[in-house]
Amino acid sequence: MLRTLIIVLALTWAHAAPAHAEAPTAPPAFLSKTDCFQTTPDYESWVASIVQRTGAAPVSKAQLESLVPARTFAFARAAFDCHVVTYDSGGHTVSGYVVRPKGDDADRLPLLVYNRGGNGAFGRLDALQLFQTLLPLAKAGHVVVASQYRDADEFGGRDVDDVMRLIDLSRTLPGTDGDRVFLLGQSRGAMMSYLVARRRSDITAMATIAGATDLGAGLAWRPEMERVYRARIPGYADDKPAALRERSALRWAEHLPASMPVLLLHGEADDRVSVDDSRAMAARLRQLDRPHRLVVYPGDDHSLRQNRRAAHAEIVTWFRSAGTAAAEAAESRSSLPAIRRSAEQPATASTGPTGAEHVP
């Protein structure tokens, strides 16, 4: 009788007890992650993909083989972890790149966020720009991420959230030093960088190439941009001055992080964004006593094609200096007594020259 009762109780417990619940798992950082060379595993297929691409300036096979020789392609395949990713940003599926040198994840590298130029599909990053821009930045010792922005491009509106989201997802990637975050923006991407920096407190330094800082003045200088603004910017027709001001860092530079050093590079012969945008921004930063450096390249164009190597060196040196200074400042603060730390403001990183325009 007792044995029967024990069996009944055991069966009752087995049916009544809840099934063992699996431990909840964190959602993946990215919705998808694909090797950059999955569809072009060899040099010949990669060259063919660039030559046959649509929606971008045509490049001949001979030009491409000069820009990216076979040995460079082979090196990239062997030396970098490179992925095309997608992620969620406010209900939009956004694509981008994540690139880093291969190595031990224990070697934590700073995060460099590259913000592209263009609008909509124009200016989207592709396999050629990967070699010309992203891989060299990763080779210099960075985890490089770049967003393509959402398809519903608002040219500095809610698409800024796409960059914000990418930074948040990337700061905790394996082998990434989330305490050293750099922004590099080119053309429209500079505007995006300023908009991001205004909303964050974790940006160590930023650099701009041909940065648009005053869209109102730029529109008077290049009236054809009116078509882009009307098509992309919500509410543009209702309040044009407000829409342009919101996207013009020159008009609210005082709201940028006070200790964030800014490097401004610009070609003096730029026919897309006037060099006056960078000169005016540098003057405003100087007025605010903010760390910055302006470099103007005489005779060079929007992409700094004549000074690509020199510009790359300026950017790498700028970020390296800012990162080192930030690390030293953090170490100095951590060594202070706790009661004293709580009463003091963070030290301002030393960032080199801040003043007159530098001309190479």
pLDDT band, residue 332 (cuts 50/70/90): confident
Residue 289 has a pLDDT of 98
Mean pLDDT of all residues in the chain?
Answer: 87
Q: What is the pLDDT of residues 265-308, one digit of tens each?
A: 999 999 999 999 999 999 999 999 999 999 999 999 999 999 99
Instruction: For residues 141-169, give the mean pLDDT.
Output: 97
- Please give the backbone phi and psi of residue 158, each rounded to the nearest 5 degrees, phi first: -70, -15
Q: Other CB atoms closer than 10 Å to residue 145's CB: what's the count?
A: 25
Q: Render pLDDT for 41-91 as a digit per residue (tens, 0 to 9).
A: 999 999 999 988 767 778 889 999 999 999 999 999 999 999 999 999 999
| Percent share of the chain, pLDDT over 90 | 77
What number of other Cβ atoms are within 10 A of residue 63's Cβ? 12
- Backbone phi, psi, residue 352, to 5°: 90, -160
| Segment 192-224, tens digit of pLDDT | 999 999 999 999 999 999 999 999 999 999 999
Q: Enter the pTM of the model.
A: 0.86
Listing DSSP states for 4-23 in one string gives HHHHHHHHHHHHHSPPPPPP
Q: How many CB atoms lie within 10 A of CB 288?
A: 12
| More confident: 263 or 4 | 263
- Per DSSP, the three-state class of 278 is helix
Domains of the chain (ranges; CATH) run 29-334 (3.40.50.1820)
The arithmetic mean of pLDDT across residues 336-350, rounded, is 35
